[in-house]
A and B are shown apart, each in its own frame.
Chain A
Amino acid sequence: MSSLPDLICPAGSLPALKAAVDNGADAVYLGFKNDTNARNFAGLNFDQKTMADGIRYAHAKGREILLAINTFPQAGRVGDWHKAVDAAVDQGVDAIILADVGLLDYARNRHPQQRLHLSVQGSATSYEAINFCQREFGIRRAVLPRVLTLAQVEHVIKNTTVEIEVFGFGSLCVMNEGRCWLSSYACGESPNTVGACSPAKYVKWDKKPGAMETRLNGILIDRFGDNEPAGYPTLCKGRFEVEGETYYALEEPTSLNVISILPEILKIGVRAIKVEGRQRSPAYVTQVTRTLRAALDSLANGSEGFHVKPAWQAELSKVSEGSQATLGAYSRPWR
């Protein structure tokens, strides 16, 4: 049996975690209920008790729990992030996903036995950066930003012994992982500062006759006709007037979907495939996990005869933002 990459699925709640495990995730990634993770939304994420329940549930079925502490410590509050790292170790998570080098250093020195992964927010796109983190902090895996072509991912894998994880499905950030401050332009808050892009308290959906308007802190960022699909209210996915034309000037509301290039992803030696969406409901986690599980399992005996089932694509496109899918940077002809 060839070794398939791990399927890493998101959970923002205990029911979502169970849905991921029950539908075939090899590992589930989570965050604490605070701004130490990049999906810091009201009512979402795990406290000590739900996390303990979740870890027990996953371990009983032989699956792993990864904990994301993927924001950057804010001035004067570094202790909160250290506490989060300590708490993750106490809880017994299988790995901690970190972005900040200071935190990586802390975790490495304080908890030398703990498995560490480099977060996508760490923005390491070259094998030099990844090997540096391996040498200095002993990282075992790195999650690549969604900016590399498949050939570039392969080049990284050939030049490192660190396991490589890539994104396989989910909403897209504008491909500037860990460095985007667009949200701060409108709201004064960004994923890297408060753990949320375009926080809900700044978002307003206004129903107008024949259209719905999206405002971010009062700034009109999009207007949808009644039958037009909608997207998340982030600045990068707004429509703006540029030189007399109004269009998605930065990014279209689409989802990444790599199902059609799974054989290539396996061939180049990717160790894990990640699904975006800790902010989504258990229904989404169920649908996406079981679909990718089915697709991966169909590759267990080699990629000959691999074909993308229409049912998979239908299931995935239904849950997609803007109901569109893209191969993102993996297939960009330019670099």
Chain B
Amino acid sequence: MNGQFTIPKFKLPDFIASLGQKLPQWPHALALVAGLNAAHKMKLLPEAELDLLEGKLFRVRINDTGGEASYTYRDGMFRPVFRPDREPDLAFAANLSAYLQLLARQEDPDTLFFNRELEITGDTELGLIVKNMLDAVEWPSLPKLPQLSR
């Protein structure tokens, strides 16, 4: 990945969200779960914290694409949940750009939260566990943050 690349803050036009809501939600869920399981397989996720996720229902909503994905962690695997029959234990909602900035470690979730670009509802302690767990992961090749001119 190019070290100089910065993900800008953007919001997709509203009509995309209304389109997104009409599309089947399972591709998002599958992609997300596949990513998490891959990280798990590479032993990137700490076992002790993973145990705390057992049986919890998570929902990730992308506001400006209208996409959402629900998943759970059970018996050592992340699994998509296509038709959740209850409110999630933990729910995230943000625009696509905020998620991309988080993934690239370009922005800190607290920053996005303070600025109201990331919404976290449900079990706050679970949210903290997930956040801290992802922060502690040493991704094999971390995309570099752009340099601030001195």
Contacts and interface: CB of A to CB of B under 8 A. Distances in A.
A133 to B, nearest CB: 33
Contact of A229 (B116, B119, B121, B148): B116
A99 B115 CA distance: 34
A41 B114 CA distance: 19
Nearest to A43: B132
B132 A323 contact: no
Interface in B15-58: 46, 49, 52
A224 B115 CA distance: 11
A115 interface: no
B108 A12 contact: no
Interface residues of B, number: 36
Interface stretch (B66-74, B78-86, B137-145): B137-145
Interface residues of A, number: 50
Given A13-B136, A43-B128, A281 B105 contact: yes
A13 B111 contact: no
Nearest to A293: B150
B108 to A, nearest CB: 4
B97 interface: no
A43 B129 CA distance: 5
A43 B114 contact: no
Q: What does DSSP make chain A's interface, helix, strand, loop or mixed?
A: mixed
A284 B108 CA distance: 6
B124 A201 contact: yes
Nearest to B147: A290
A242 to B, nearest CB: 25
A319 B114 CA distance: 8
Nearest to A320: B114
B148 A43 contact: no
A199 interface: yes
B5 interface: no
Interface of B: 46, 49, 52, 105-111, 113-116, 119-121, 124-125, 127-133, 135-138, 142, 145, 147-150
Top 10 closest A-B pairs, CB basis? A43-B132, A284-B108, A200-B125, A13-B136, A281-B108, A203-B124, A201-B125, A283-B108, A42-B129, A200-B124
14 contacts: A41-B128, A42-B49, A43-B49, A43-B128, A44-B132, A200-B124, A200-B125, A228-B116, A253-B114, A281-B109, A283-B111, A284-B110, A287-B145, A323-B114
